[in-house]
Amino acid sequence: MTSHRKQLISLAHPVYFSLLASVASGIINTVWVSRLGGAAVAAVAVATNTENVLLGVALVFASGTTVLVAHAGGARDPEAVRAAVRGGWALFTLVTPVVVAGGLLLRGPLAELVLGADGGAAPALAAAYFAISLPGMAVFFAQQLVDGILKGTGDTRTPMRLALLANGLILVCDPVLIHLYGVRGAALSTVLCRCAALAVGLRALRRNALLRTAARARPAEPVPAALRRTLTCGLPMSADFTVRQGGALVLVAIVARIGVTAVAAYAIAYKVMYIATMAFYAVRQAASIHTAHTRGAGQDARRDIGRQAVLLSGALGLTSAALFAATAPWIMAAFGAGPDVAHQGVLFLRCVGPYLLLMACFIALGGVFEGSGGAPALLRVTLLGTAVQLPLAHALSPLGLPGICLALALAMTLQYGFATLLFGRSRNREESKTPFTRAA
């Protein structure tokens, strides 16, 4: 068990720092754009949220490829590794033009839909940002796939370095390009810096020992079959992410019923919580990679990996909950929150602890589901939890933000309970029912 824990930590901590770098870059980007006025901030915020939604699309081929490459690598099967990589690139090639072309055609209506036709200058600024950022989605998607392939080989450090490179360059280029080109400069900075990181990432693929060996092997299956396998594996993970993003957006609308002060406090607290939740998702990715690799090697270590992932992520959740509760007043003061907003934010951060702990355990356990081909079952649990969470939050919203915290905790209790039940039964599943089984 100690070896599993060490492997999870080794895989997870680079993933965490890469996620942290992306968030820090986004905050700095907002600081520079804020000098252009409120309309510019609103435009960039809409564009950034749109990118978060599109990340769910990228997960279809990125996460699917990660799991399939890890499984093939564990089996020491270079032919299957090459097929998995080819399937990922094939699905990327199929999906990306649709997203880019559709986004470009609908950039104006999309900006008006979110910001309103009478939103002043903001819709036009958002459309201008989209004119650069949406074609740049091709770079973003390719970057996600390169990261996914490398993670599948067990290399999570190179994606971390690529994230640090891209976001470090953005911090340097943002002030210059935003000063020269305004909102368009912010989009241009992001795309150009990601291009630089992608070039380095493609070079890293050619240097990877497992991928070099696979490149000389005959693919285990034709491209169409590999594409279908990637889609089968990645689609439930993508849908899970999209459901969570959609639920989070609806939850904001429910919080808005409490009042503007509550929304402001919730928004600040939720951003702070990213520091913790990113750690949970880092453990989840590590558990997914390690589970797929061990199963490919012919070992069924799901129970031990799941236990260690839950213990590791649970410890992070418990620590985060305690720190947020103790430092809540200073956190809200650091964001310059007024007395009313600060009071609500402190209340939320001190009530959200049980939810954070349960969420940490559930997210980590989800990685074992994904790595063993059980992502469809995990998606059903997420759908159930979201379906329960939103009505509960609506019903308990008269209690204020503590009511929202209670709804979150109750819904997460349900999700973790069902996930644990399914996890206990997963050892009896036949291997032929997972997406890893090679086509005849």
Please answer whether residues 41 and 33 qualify as being in contact, where contact means their C-beta atoms are separated by less than 8 angstroms.
yes
Q: Which two tokens stand for residue 234?
A: 């990645």
Residue 440: predicted pLDDT: 34
Please answer whether residues 159 and 15 qualify as being in contact, where contact means their C-beta atoms are separated by less than 8 angstroms.
yes
Residue 22: predicted pLDDT: 72
Which helix or strand (DSSP H or E) is residue 97 part of? helix 78-105
Please answer whether residues 355 and 408 qualify as being in contact, where contact means their C-beta atoms are separated by less than 8 angstroms.
yes
How many Cα atoms sit within 13 Å of 332 on the Cβ side?
Answer: 26
Question: What is this structure's pTM?
Answer: 0.87
Residue 201: predicted pLDDT: 96
The pLDDT tens digits of the residues spanning 28-39 come to 776 777 677 767
Residue 85: predicted pLDDT: 95
What number does CATH give the domain 233-440?
A: 1.10.357
The pLDDT tens digits of the residues spanning 98-156 come to 988 988 888 777 777 656 656 567 778 888 888 898 899 999 999 999 999 999 999 99
Q: Give the residues of the chain that fall short of pLDDT 70.
A: 1, 25-27, 30, 34, 38, 42, 45-46, 49, 113-120, 426-440
> Rounded CA gap, 225 and 308, in Å?
35
Residue 227: predicted pLDDT: 94
How many Cα atoms sit within 13 Å of 344 on the Cβ side?
Answer: 22
Please answer whether residues 119 and 42 qualify as being in contact, where contact means their C-beta atoms are separated by less than 8 angstroms.
yes
In the chain, what are the domain boundaries?
Answer: 1-220, 233-440
* Beta carbons within 8 Å of 378's beta carbon, 6+ residues apart: 236, 240, 366, 369, 370, 419, 422
Q: Which two tokens stand for residue 57?
A: 């699309």
- State what percent of residues in the chain have pLDDT above 90: 51
Residue 358: predicted pLDDT: 96
How many CB atoms lie under 10 A from the CB of residue 158? Answer: 21
How many CB atoms lie under 10 A from the CB of residue 172? Answer: 11
